[in-house]
Structure 1
Amino acid sequence: MKNLKLSILICCCFITFGFQESKSDKTPPKTEQIKELLSEAENSIDMMEFDKAQQQLNQSLEYAKEINHKRYIALTSGILARMYQVRHEYKQAITQLERAISIQREIDDQSGLAYSYILYSKILNSKGELDRALKYLDLAKKYYEAQGENEQLGLVSLNKAVIFLANKDTKSRALSELNNAEVYLEGSKNKYELSRLHYFLARAYSNEGDFEKAEEAALGSLKLAESGNYTGMTMYSYGLLSEIAEKRNNPAAALAYLQKMNEIREYVFDINKEALQTDANEKMGVDALKSTVNELTLQQAENEKTLKVNKLTTILSVALITILSLLTLSLYKNNNLRARANELLQKKNSELILAKENAEKASLAKAQFLTTITHELRTPLYAVTGLTHLLLEESPTESQKEHLNSLKFSGEYLLSLINNILDLNKLEANKVEIVKSDFNLEKRMSDVLIALKNSADEKNTKIHFDFDQKIPKKLVGDPLKISQILINLLGNSIKFTEDGDIWISVKQTKRQEKVVSLLFEIKDNGEGIGKEKQKAIFENFTQGSTQINRKFGGTGLGLSIVKNLLSLLNSEIDLESELGEGSKFTFELQFETTETEIKNAEAATPVEIEETKLTNEIMEDKRILVVEDNKINQMITRKILEKNKVICDVADNGSIAIEKVKNNAFDLILMDIHMPGISGIEATIEIRKFDPEIPIIALTAVTLDDNLDEFYLNGFNDIIPKPYKTEEFFHKINKYLAARETTV
């Protein structure tokens, strides 16, 4: 019974933080509706009314998107993450929470981030990652201390206490944090959190053997939970009271509390009412049978008195025994059937759990493989892009410059391809986002054609380009994804077209205010695709036939990437093809125009203008330490820096880097992550012990996941993933060098 109560307690993690409005926020009617919906949704979650909470959050998100209020969009995702976390659906919770954190970082919503950090700590605690959970609580605590928000500090202490109570080595620290929470929450009107506080105080007192205080605190939790109609907390309070009563040798009270807890649990988890009705019907049948037997017995007595017929008495007795025996046999068979059904259900549940664990292991192995292979691909790709940049800086001839630009463009595409192979696994989880920027579509497509010209020439194939001049010069969209789509489609046509022609055209089909619709068409007179293969050709690792695979090679992944990318851009691809007569691919995309670009530039903030004025001159005579174990990467990074008059030093591993920083004065450190000996993260932790000020940037080929806070928590100022664009590389270095000069 104790195990059952404990498992029920773990199944629902209770957190509620409340959220606060910035004093500067305006409150139009729509904003007030959003605030009210979010407050109601939190209350619905506290009352375990999840369907109602989902409806309220959907309405809140719709209103927030109507007025483009990013803070409330993020907060809605955060509260939705909390609902999934309470329901123990951690994957969905993490997806929503990461979306919220991304927006909150973008708009610098520190209050919202603090809320998200506390929720993230709850998820990490549920997954057993206690140290990381405490670190995120410390991030939230730092913000609330700066704001002087005592009630939120109380929630931080309360959640720390929950973590300490779960670990036998830290249980003694739990009561201290609970006392802190009690002080901070004094006078609070948040009944739900006060109920939680009393509940965990009761657990702490019970652990120490002070059952009188434990019962008093548990009754306080029950009173608060019932007054707020918090179903979950009411159930857990009764369960805890039952445990305390059992420890105090009061079995009657323990049984009474346990019965109340089970009544609420049956309501919450919607126990099969048909089974209860069947049991009731069986009970009615037994009562009716007993009534019949009583009547027969009475009749027997009357007959004995009047007729004295012993034979009738015997018959009635045999009948009664037969009926009761049949009833007993029927009940026995029913119980056996139920027992077998329960046993079969438990077996199936065990098989499902095992299958789920195996699937999770396979998914983890896949993720680890992708991380490793991506790192191995990024390292040589860094050499390609880095050396290309160095060659472009050495005044090449015009023909060499054209080849080098094609090489640079292809390197960027290859990096994008590596990233999108990983993104295919995230599309269903809505983790891949569109990055919008201003770009010239005609120039972008020309770059694609230049990059693919050599491949077409080798096949003696001509590419014809038709671009509608009515299309605006500047569009707003995701140029990198457009390039990926076109390179995959054109590369596919070149591969299957020899001594032929390829036509690519873009036409404007509709223009309404600032939105234009463009129709893209890629047509060739190559091999073509049979009707039976046209649907499957867009699936992963699929080609037209084994003969085509042997003749033309390839992975069969290009068209699958195209389909997924177009789906991300709210479009679909159409295919018309006949075997031996060529193929035609068409798709339509919408873009915004940039007519307000000048106005936006004039409205730029002073900070943005100042940042755009940063030049590489600030790097002159600065001392930068490059920590990198790969000799080629050392040479490339060093040459790029020294071309800008940087005084550059190199360390082959983390241990050497620590010694060099101790004995020399550097202005900035570029730190790789994966190195022999101690890692870049471990080296950074050691450096921060004696030099907390020097800027340290992670210059790494590792695949960064969404938990970027891990880097910042361990002392990094920023991250530059390799291979990088030199503009981003110089911008970040100049940014931290300039900041360091102003503080020195």
Structure 2
Amino acid sequence: MRSLRHIKIKLLLTAICFFSVFVVISQENRQDSIAAIKQLQKEASNAISNQQFEDAIVKLIDADKQINEGGFKELKLDSKLHIAELNYYIQNYGKAKTEVELALKQIDNFTRAKTKAYTYTLYGLILTRNEEYALAEDYLKRADKLYAEQNDEAGQANTILGFGILELKLNNYKKAINYFNACLPTFRIEDLKYQEAFAEINKSQALLHVSNNEIKDALGKAVSSIENAERIVKARGYSKLNSEIYKVKAQIALRQGNSAEAEKVFQQYIILNDSINAVYKQAISKGVDAESSVGDLTEIIESKQSEIEAQARSLNLNKMTTALSIALIIILSLLTLSLYKNNNLRAKANNLLQDKNVEMQSAKEKAEKASLAKAQFLSTITHELRTPLYAVTGLTHLLLEEDPKEHQREHLNSLKFSGEYLLSLINNILDLNKLEANKVELEKTTFSLKKRINDVLIALKKSADDRKNTLRLEYDDNIPSKLNGDPLKLSQVLINLIGNSVKFTQNGEVVIRVTKMDQGASKVKLHVEVEDNGVGISKKKQKSIFETFSQASLQINRKFGGTGLGLSIVKNLLELMGSKIHLESQLGKGSKFWFNINFSIPEGLNDDSAATPAIVKETDYSALENKKVLVVEDNKINQMITKKILEKNNMVCDVADNGMDAVKKVEELTFDVILMDIHMPGISGIEATQKIREFNKSIPIIALTAVTIDENLDDFYRAGFNEIIPKPFKTEEFFEKIYKTLENKKLPTPS
């Protein structure tokens, strides 16, 4: 019994040993098979890198067959993704979709989140190419959520790129640009050069579909993006991306109006794209062959080929001649077909060029309409704001004149300051609007530059003193004493630049330097600097500081005030004068604004009287007493305010409600001066002035109006006005202009 038991135990141990050896051998065989499959996949990846797509697709299909035959379920998902990715790359989107959908079936609760996210991203991209946009967006959102949970920035950047391509396909160009801008920094940090170049190409394409009103210098940004992509592609040899670059460059050339260059580049795109597509088609064909075992049929065909060739050699000369003739006909037919195809491609290219020209013309018209609408809106709003503001500033002045109590005076002074600040803002908006609407023209007069700068410094001295700043001028004495140019525009530039430096400097110094760079017989080139040791501007904000309504920061705005219009006006005025503003600044150390500008030199250096106006006498208020003034104004509040301001100075005031009443009163009564509003019911102030000038050439007429962008001040003088006082006004300037007009008795410019 014991020996039988021993025999059974030995048999059992032998069986166990045999089974263990079998399991080990099986495991080793399985591991060897998996290693062989992974080697095939690795070789396929290398083939893809070398753009040997036929070899790659055959190896991947072979690997997939081995996975199915060996039952390696754990490798099925990766295999399907590899095949799908390659087919997506070679634009075989139908096959790519089929393979990814098979991969999706392999996903379960044990699948890694990163693999899931990648599968969803790839599926989203493929669905986008197949124009299934809603489903594509859904899968891209799923992928983005998984990457965000894993803090995988590189993966998330790929998903964002997918969203960008989706929005581009949906013609949501601004959204697409935002997505491309969002993913590009990550691609650069992670050194994902293919994705970076691909994103730059698509960004450039999106920028070509937006106007400069939507994105400033959109065309310039498109050029910059395609240049970035081109540098990467040339360094890495991405042939498919290279063909896409040619396509976008053709569109850019069209936008730039260079049709010849566009056609040339588009032809290069067609040639390169055709050769790439041929490679892709060959790879797809090879893949189909591999999947359907066409290889076996090929072997049979090749084995029979030698028999066919042997028979062909035995044919007589006539049959050979016939065969050659047929071959020649086929070659000629192919050549004809090729020429036909080439003509078709040329026709398509021409049609594309025409379509793009139509699109560009339409975009140009839309941009012009938008610009006109903006100009009209700002013109209307600034004019409408001036009317109630005139009441605010006028009534404030009247109340201050009535000897208010001390606490009331404090409030009224605050109200006066606020009114003047608001007036300054409105004037800035009007100036900027005129510049952007090309309503500003340069004048050519002789002036003294040094005197102009000194006048600006005198005007800003009080502001500098209030902030305990020193103003210092360093002026090159080699600069000609007289120059030809537009002194008013130059003064406006200097007031804004120096005023800006004064505002952002406390207990410091603002230095103005003017040096001669070059001088010829009739021209001189000057270098102008305005430097301060104030708060400075960060590198980030230096790029946008000259844009409209742009300031260094919200904190700066709250601390120092202002609207951010001054530097934008400077930029536009200098560009109008053929110059460009530059900035150097460091936070906490100060800022330096500078520009180079050309002026003409007058043929003969005249004395100062020819270059600068005579010294203005101080206003003699007593000389204005008892002067008869006709105020032509349709607004009752404005009538009352203007009349009270005049009567406070003991002037005799009469009022006309409209232009026709004004003409009748001037015919019947005698006045020393007329203050004429422009925008009135019935006939306008300009028409009323023209009618008065028909019978009275000498009476001084001053336009008292809220100027708009559409009004050219020269038109006022041609219509018969002696002077213009924009509403609202400072009372001192109001009386100064009335006094000057009465003193000079200057005749108006004839119509």
* Fold match (TM-score > 0.5): no
Q: Which has the larger radius of gyration?
A: 2
Tell me the TM-score normalised to structure 2 length. 0.41
**TM-score when scaled to structure 1?**
0.41
